[in-house]
Structure 1
Amino acid sequence: MSDKRLNTPSMVRRMAFPQSSSRAVVTPLQPSVVYASDTPDALDAQYLGGAQGYTYAREGHPNADVLARKIDQLEGVTPQMGAGFITSSGMAAISAAILGVCKAGDHVLGGDQLYGRSLRMLSQDLPDLGIETSLADPTDAAAFAAAIQPNTRLVLLEVMSNPTLRLSDISAITKACHARGVLVMIDNTFTTPRGYRAFDNGADIVIHSVTKLLAGHSDVTLGYTATRDPALRDAMVVKAVTWGFTPSPFDCWLAERGLYSFELRYDRAQENAAKLADALATHSAVEKVLYPARTDHPDHNRVSDMLGDQTGNMVSFVLRGGREQTNAFVGALEHIAFAPTLGDIGTTLSHPATSSHRALSAEARLALGMPEGFFRVSVGVEDVDMLISEFTAALDGV
């Protein structure tokens, strides 16, 4: 008796994707881990640069490249610079850049008010690899330049510090670094290219946590790295591939979708942030408000030259009192997400003492301007009157 299964196509064989004389409006999602080549010679040609294509998703995939090209356009990356590339997170973007640039014995100088995990990398993780590190105040260009050492290879700055919203004196620091052959890496996450074009202002390397404002919906985790030097770019990509900083195709697809509304979201959230900052400043429960557009911001003299009128959607403030008051305030904000992140389409509230900077002592946080009552607000696109009403009611309760 014959076996009818022998005449049935195997379900494990892939079917050809349907061809169409029209094209999809939405970028296709391509989750494939591997890509088949016609012959060994064809695969060789891809690895040797004679043909364009994909091999293994850890080495690159279409959705990551589509997303990177869009961010390249925002950041003003030119063909001569090479292309930016996507990583699995913002910290992966920083890691790939540092690993691609530095070796044991090199020195990395960072701003002393960086994001908490960046501070940890500089203070604990890089020294484990034999890379020396130190921190200096980026709002004081002379003091920062004085901290450059003979073996300083790279400087890491945030345009606007997370979460204290201080503005680095990038122009003066960049001049001092380049005069001594030191590369300048700018974390442009808070300000975004809509607020600040880092390459136009002397940066050698630009990184983003795409997770935040660029993607904008709290549903992806991605990073982005770009550099002026194609050779450095290649070295960074090698590290990213080897260390496995691979971005998810689905996250890249979602982030690309988020970028289409980026300017609309940014402008609306920025408008809301300015109004919320002014409203917070009038409340008796608030000791201090930090927002770059306000004349009482400590770096307001730099705002016009650096940011123009693009002062962003981030507001920080200090609530009077201690943990009892912070708990009461957060508990009263029924519709505002209390979360250690930023950049969602809706407003989120963060408390650095219990999230991003929890590894620092209370004394160390206070020295950076973050007492117990310090909060960071990532302002969203809600109706601003509703937003102000919610914050005011919670503050009234405190």
Structure 2
Amino acid sequence: MSDAPKSTAPKSLARRPAWPTSVSRPVVTPLQPSVVYSSPDPDGLDQQYEDGSGFTYAREGHPNATVLAQKIDSLEGVDGGIITGSGMSAVGAVFLGVLQAGDHIIGADQLYGRTLRLMTEDLPKFGVDTTLADPTDADAIAAAIQPNTKMVVVEVVSNPTIRVADMEGIAKLCHDRGLLLMVDNTFTTPRSYLPFENGADIVIHSVTKLLAGHSDATLGYAVAKDPALMDKINVANVTWGLTPSPFDCWLAERGLQSFDLRYDRAEATATALSEALSGLDGVTKVLHPSRPDHPDHNRVAQVLGHRPGNMMSFEVAGGRAAANALTNAARDLPFAPTLGDVGTTLSHPASSSHRALTEEGRAALGISEGFFRVSVGLEDPQLLIDELTHAIAESQKA
């Protein structure tokens, strides 16, 4: 018997098995949570970075984000959009990619509360100044322009006051003055409004909301019409690590399959609900673009056509006491600061999205303690009307 030591070298390195091949394809998009992707050699990796082929590291992109972005691109009529980790990270990616110290931007004074905070409190730390102006008046936007103004940021329908911006006037102004127009299309969605067909340069979404539609995925989307500008936004997204989760992208793509059906049903119900609430005792205001008493009624048809959307707001008399009573009585309606779910949700801007504003600041926007935003979902319309009718009656007893 030989006294030679036995070799401890492995006969072969452990290898991951190859992904099974098939002549058929999966009907459902596969979920790919891998953080990294293996390349054949350094030349191959160089080629991937040069021509953008394949995937390398999930922060720089992954298959589920690409599939979802392409589907939203098709809705917006554009190419090259990216998915980000949240709606606010989409806003952040645009600002980080486009703006620099010394720039000035104009924001609609009725933007989403966190967007307002970012523009008025955080951007100044980086040397970017913000002026807020009324988006329903293009002349007010024009009056806010300074020599260093670079961008105008608007929502087509404002959150939470449901005002309709003067999109034609603002788009013409931006074109004439050489300013970038960024549109947050979250409320309206491509089902109701196509920003690029109406003069926008940049579009963002909180995919979390109506596009995904099930309150189980937190994502954003950003796209620019100019490929060079889009490249800057994408670089900022990668550098700052605003990466989306593959699982959330997979969930959102699933939700997107029913988006148009969900939107149409919720929109019709919101129209019926706004009509039903308008005649109730204690209701001092109902805001929905379908209503003839909407403050921007003359502009609604021009901007939205016949797509008023699923978002509405109403106000009850009685202040905070009435608001508490209403939410306590509406047991079957989630009181939650979100929108776009398959179920209807109630939001109270004074205690959530716009709580950072002073009482005077909220009053200037028309947001009182009795003001509620409603994201209308897919319930039976009459059941929803009955629930809110009861809750409003209870609020007036307070």
TM-score, normalized by the shorter chain, greater than 0.5: yes
Cα distance per residue 1:260-308 (max 9 Å; x no partner):
1000000000011001111111110211000000000000111111111
Corresponding residue of 1:199: 196
Corresponding residue of 1:256: 253
Q: Does 1:128 align with 2:129?
A: no
Q: Distance in 2 between matches of 1:240 and 1:289?
A: 39
AA aligned opposite 1:53: G
Q: Distance in 2 between matches of 1:276 and 1:303?
A: 18
Q: Distance in 1 between matches of 2:149 and 2:276?
A: 44
Q: Distance in 1 between matches of 2:149 and 2:338?
A: 31
TM-score, normalised to structure 2, is 0.96
Q: Distance in 2 between matches of 1:253 and 1:143?
A: 42
Corresponding residue of 1:381: 378
Q: Distance in 1 between matches of 2:7 and 2:29?
A: 44
Matches within 5 A, 1:220-259: 220-259=217-256
Q: Distance in 1 between matches of 2:42 and 2:86?
A: 34
Cα distance per residue 1:364-386 (max 9 Å; x no partner):
10110001100000000111111
Corresponding residue of 1:164: 161
Change (3 A) 1:324 1:65: same
TM-score, normalised to structure 1, is 0.96
Corresponding residue of 1:339: 336
Provide the secondary structure at the position in 2 that maps to 1:338.
coil
- Number of aligned positions between the proteins: 391
Corresponding residue of 1:66: 67
AA aligned opposite 2:191: R
Unaligned runs of 5+ in 2: none
Cα distance per residue 1:188-207 (max 9 Å; x no partner):
00000000000000000000
Q: Distance in 2 between matches of 1:4 and 1:243?
A: 45
Provide the secondary structure at the position in 2 that maps to 1:153.
strand
Q: Distance in 2 between matches of 1:318 and 1:394?
A: 13
Displacement after TM superposition at 1:28 (Å): 0.7
Provide the secondary structure at the position in 2 that maps to 1:376.
strand
Q: Does 1:299 align with 2:296?
A: yes
Q: Distance in 1 between matches of 2:271 and 2:21?
A: 50
Provide the secondary structure at the position in 1 that maps to 2:223.
strand
AA aligned opposite 1:329: L
Q: Distance in 2 between matches of 1:279 and 1:315?
A: 12
Cα distance per residue 1:310-335 (max 9 Å; x no partner):
11000100011111111010001111
Corresponding residue of 2:358: 361
Q: Distance in 2 between matches of 1:160 and 1:336?
A: 23
1:18 alignment partner, one of 20, 23, 31: 20
Corresponding residue of 1:37: 39
AA aligned opposite 2:256: L
4+ aligned runs moved over 3 Å, structure 1: 1-10
Provide the secondary structure at the position in 2 that maps to 1:122.
helix
Displacement after TM superposition at 1:15 (Å): 2.0
